[in-house]
Chain A
């Protein structure tokens, strides 16, 4: 009797300890993010980056973000730029990824294996080795001028689809082949099989591809930062990264960087949290199959 009570007592304390530990961990994990959120409401220029709690609160950072247009700031414009680029990228990438993945999953043509090996090998080269050459190529054909940026970036982003199809292919591999066969016996063409049978069954991977390719341009500060030289055509990532790149500008712009980050980070974080179940399934599912 006594023994039993003892175990249940230690069990309860173990449970509380676990819970406390996990929630403390969550709190620690959120500290930088909460700090960022607080900074976005700190009145500028009072106080400095080094304090956790703002002295004076204001909504001014968010208003300034969308009203101020200077040689280094034009957030509203950047936001629109990114939106347009993300939508075009998302359409192109999704089309490319789905077609390549489907072909490699279903057709046994001669160059299939070599192509997949080449894709693996190409994927191992550091991506930004191509930046300099791409910059010169794109600017020489005039694609880095004004509104042509809206085409230049999606083209480059979506060209990665040729090597980034493995997850979608893994998904198509799981759709039983006899579905296609049955439709083909009924006289459907290969194109028809793809559009009317495979695609409707592939909603999860389509959603996943759409969302991940849509998110890409919002996070890319490297390539976009290197090729875009006109402030008016910056994406949010390039613009926000550029305004706090030097120690001096951190003091001046950090509150606005924080506000911009909240505006960019909130939707992307929500999308990611929505995506995580596909992500978990996809990463491990693809990995097991090799």
Chain B
């Protein structure tokens, strides 16, 4: 804010050259004999305005209108005229915005260079930097700029721009049914801004979508809580059991347990899915042992929703327990031995030691881990998508199944239905959920920390 204010006060106070260089970038540098610098700045500005003139303003205009004509018939009523491509207009509009933001950033930086220069000039010891020094500074004072620039460009173009695009889609009526495999069809889309219409549909207007949203949301929360807690408690118990006295071959046990998370999930979970199939091995084994007489439908389309949900939570232990075990092992080894000694001298029994020392210590260290696990489970796409694909189907739901999480439902809507605007509203909801939870937990764990260090 302060620098923003001085941007204007410096303009009023500064020399006429400085004033002019607010409008002509590089002028200040050229006048003060920093030719290379000045010319680069000037070229940057000219380039920007040329870009804006030829493309930029058009892009922004398209972004505002998203095109005017849908797919329509020509006057002869036979040939068809393809409609405006709102998809590309929106996408390129966002890219154009990114270019404008980058330019504005450069502009403010260059003006502030001139402003600093203007102030320092009055100082006698001030040494003017030439272009060679500029280049040298790229490996010294400005080394951070050199190192950050390429990753930042990548981040902007391939992550931020697509993300902003998708967030903006939530405010359009982009939801035509089409074939997902057909890329031509994606490229021929006409849609327009619709404000908060999709938000309204999700929360209130469309009863079926609303019911699905709240149903899926509830299951997502239940799943996240249950999956996190079961994995956490059982994982830590197993880690402690492995660490306890008298266990032979600790390393081997750890490696054997960890194999289930060492292999990529698309393999392990697809194997588990086939394993638990209606006519799969697991059913066969159970039948031969004599536990069941008829095959259980665990995760198929016709399975009982509650059986499927329970199966998913239990099956998730297969990868969850080793994961927590891995983390907890490191922590358990770091518990100061003196704590145990002291407790033992004070006459504490094993249970007392567990509840008074081990658990608080583990809980203290793993609180952040618990938070990230919870957020991770809210968005646990792989387990649900690969294991059940959201099945069993639910007829009351809008293209969602009984084990679908918000995130897998979102994916279904984009893949099967091309309900892009509703899908991106759900995406925004998923984000809001994650952000709120991590903020709340983070606050609490911060106060937790302030209460004093453990041990």
Chain A positions near chain B (C-beta within 8 angstroms): 11, 14-15, 18-19, 21-23, 25-26, 29-30, 32-33, 35-36, 49-52, 96, 99-100, 102-103, 106-107, 109, 121-122, 124-126, 128-137, 139-140, 155-156, 158-163, 189-192, 194, 215, 218-219, 221-222, 229, 237, 240-241, 244, 250, 254, 257-258, 261, 264-265, 268-270, 272-273, 276, 279-281, 283-284, 287-288, 290
- The residues of A that contact B75 with a CB separation of less than 8 Å are none
Contact A103 B144 (CB under 8 A): yes
What would 18 A/B residue contacts be, using CB atoms closer than 8 Å?
A: A19-B247, A19-B248, A25-B257, A29-B259, A33-B271, A35-B275, A49-B281, A100-B147, A100-B151, A103-B144, A125-B427, A129-B410, A140-B88, A162-B159, A219-B265, A261-B263, A265-B264, A276-B258
With both beta carbons as reference points, the residue of chain B lying nearest to A215 in the complex is identified as: B264
With both beta carbons as reference points, the residue of chain B lying nearest to A287 in the complex is identified as: B368
Inter-chain CA distance A103–B145, complex, in Å, is 9
Inter-chain CA distance A132–B144, complex, in Å, is 33
Contact A284 B262 (CB under 8 A): no
Contact B330 A122 (CB under 8 A): no
List the one stretch of B17-25, B37-45, B236-244 in contact with chain A.
B236-244
Inter-chain CA distance A218–B143, complex, in Å, is 34
Kindly name the residue among A129, A132, A191 whose own CB sees the greatest number of chain B CB atoms within 10 A: A129
Task: Given A35-B281, A287-B368, verify A130-B166 contact (CB < 8 Å).
Answer: yes
Inter-chain CA distance A215–B247, complex, in Å, is 33
Give which listed residue, A136, A189, A264, A283, contacts B369 with CB less than 8 A. Answer: A283
Inter-chain CA distance A134–B154, complex, in Å, is 12
Contact A240 B256 (CB under 8 A): no
Kindly name the residue among B248, B264, B411 whose own CB sees the greatest number of chain A CB atoms within 10 A: B264
List the one stretch of B204-212, B216-224, B429-437 in contact with chain A.
B429-437
Give which listed residue, B88, B285, B318, contacts A52 with CB less than 8 A. Answer: B285
Task: Given A26-B253, A29-B257, A134-B162, verify A162-B264 contact (CB < 8 Å).
Answer: no
Q: Distance in Å from the Cβ of A230 to the closest Cβ of chain B?
A: 12
Contact A124 B154 (CB under 8 A): no
Contact A218 B264 (CB under 8 A): yes
Contact A240 B141 (CB under 8 A): no
Task: Given A194-B143, A265-B263, verify A126-B379 contact (CB < 8 Å).
Answer: yes
Inter-chain CA distance A16–B40, complex, in Å, is 77
Interface of A is mostly: helix
Q: Is B1 on the interface with A (CB-CB < 8 A)?
A: no
Inter-chain CA distance A218–B266, complex, in Å, is 10
Chain B positions near chain A (C-beta within 8 angstroms): 87-88, 91, 139-141, 143-144, 146-148, 150-152, 154-155, 157-163, 165-167, 181, 183, 186-187, 238, 241-242, 244-248, 253, 255-268, 270-272, 274-275, 277, 279-281, 283-285, 318, 322, 326-327, 329-331, 365-366, 368-369, 372, 375, 379, 381, 407, 410-411, 414, 420, 424, 427, 430-431, 434-435, 438, 446, 449
- The residues of B that contact A25 with a CB separation of less than 8 Å are 238, 257
Contact A134 B435 (CB under 8 A): no
Contact B271 A32 (CB under 8 A): yes
Give which listed residue, B242, B258, B327, B420, contacts A283 with CB less than 8 A. Answer: B327
Inter-chain CA distance A245–B154, complex, in Å, is 33
Contact A103 B157 (CB under 8 A): no
Q: Distance in Å from the Cβ of B92 to the closest Cβ of chain A?
A: 9
Contact A133 B368 (CB under 8 A): no
Give which listed residue, B167, B260, B266, B329, contacts A219 with CB less than 8 A. Answer: B266
- Of all A-B residue pairs in the complex, the 8 with the closest CB atoms, nearest first, are A162-B155, A15-B246, A219-B264, A130-B162, A99-B147, A133-B162, A272-B262, A191-B139
Contact B267 A96 (CB under 8 A): no
Contact B246 A18 (CB under 8 A): yes
